Amino acid sequence: MIEEVTIPEISENVESGTIIRVLVAVGDMIDIDDVLVEFETEKALVEIPSTVKGKIAELLAKEGDEMRVGDVIARVDTDGEADQKDTAASAAPAEEARKEKEADPDQGVPEKPSLAQGPGKVEAEVAESEKAAAPTAEKPAGTPEPAETQKKTEDRTADRGPAPASPSVRRLARELGVDIYAVKAAKPGGRITEADVKAFVKKGEPAVRTAPPGAAPTETPGEPGLPDFSRWGEVETVALDGVRRITAANMSAAWRTVPHVTQFDQADITGLQDFISKNAAKVAQNGGKLTLTAILVKVCAAVLKRFERFNASIDPVNRQLILKKYVHIGIAADTPRGLLVPVVRHADQKSISRLAAEITDLADRARNKKLKPDEMEGGTFTLSNQGGIGGVGFTPVVFWPQAAILGVSRASIMPRYIDGEFKPRSMLPLSLSFDHRIIDGADAARFLRWVCESLEHPLTMVLE
CATH number, domain with residue 62: 2.40.50.100
81, 110, 134 - which closes a domain: 81
Is 418 a member of any domain? yes
Q: What is the pTM of this model?
A: 0.60
Name the phi and psi angles at 146, rounded to 5: -55, -40
Q: How many domains does the chain have?
A: 2
Three-class SS of residue 187? coil
Say which of 260, 328, 346, 436 is annotated catalytic: 436
Structure confidence by residue, pLDDT tens digits, 179-206: 888 888 888 777 888 888 888 887 765 4
In a domain, 113, yes or no: no
The CA-to-CA distance between both ends of the chain, in Å, stands at 69
Of 66, 81, 96, the one marking the end of a domain is 81
* Residue 218 domain-assigned (yes or no): no
Asked whether residue 137 is assigned to any structural domain, the reply reads: no
Full residue range of the structural domain in which residue 284 is found:
260-462
Tell me the three state secondary structure of residue 44: strand
* Domain stop point among 81, 116, 143: 81
Which of 335, 403, 322, 415 is closest to 371 using CA atoms?
335
Give the CATH number of the domain where residue 311 resides: 3.30.559.10
Tell the burial category of 439 from Cβ atoms under 10 Å away from its Cβ (0-12, 13-18, 19+). buried
How far does CA 64 lie from the centroid of its chain?
16
Average pLDDT, the chain: 77
218-232 mean pLDDT: 69
pLDDT digits (tens, 9 = 90+) for 83-137: 554 544 444 444 555 544 454 444 444 444 433 334 444 344 434 444 444 444 4
Q: Is the pLDDT of residue 351 over 50?
A: yes
Comparing 164-168, 351-355, 432-436, the range with the smallest average pLDDT is 164-168
Q: Report yes or no on 54 lying in a domain.
A: yes
- What tens digit of pLDDT does each residue of 407-462 get? 999 999 999 888 889 999 999 999 999 999 999 999 999 999 999 999 998 887 77
Give the whole-angstrom CA distance, residue 218 versus residue 252: 13
Q: pLDDT at position 427, please?
A: 93
Confidence of residue 213 (pLDDT cuts 50, 70, 90): very low
Under the banding of pLDDT at 50, 70 and 90, the label for residue 223 is low
Residue 322 lies in a domain: yes
To 5 degrees, how large is the angle CA 362–CA 364–CA 369? Answer: 90
Instruction: Confirm whether 328 is a catalytic residue.
Output: no
Contact 452, 446 (CB under 8 A): no
Question: Looking at the domain assignment, is residue 89 inside a domain?
Answer: no
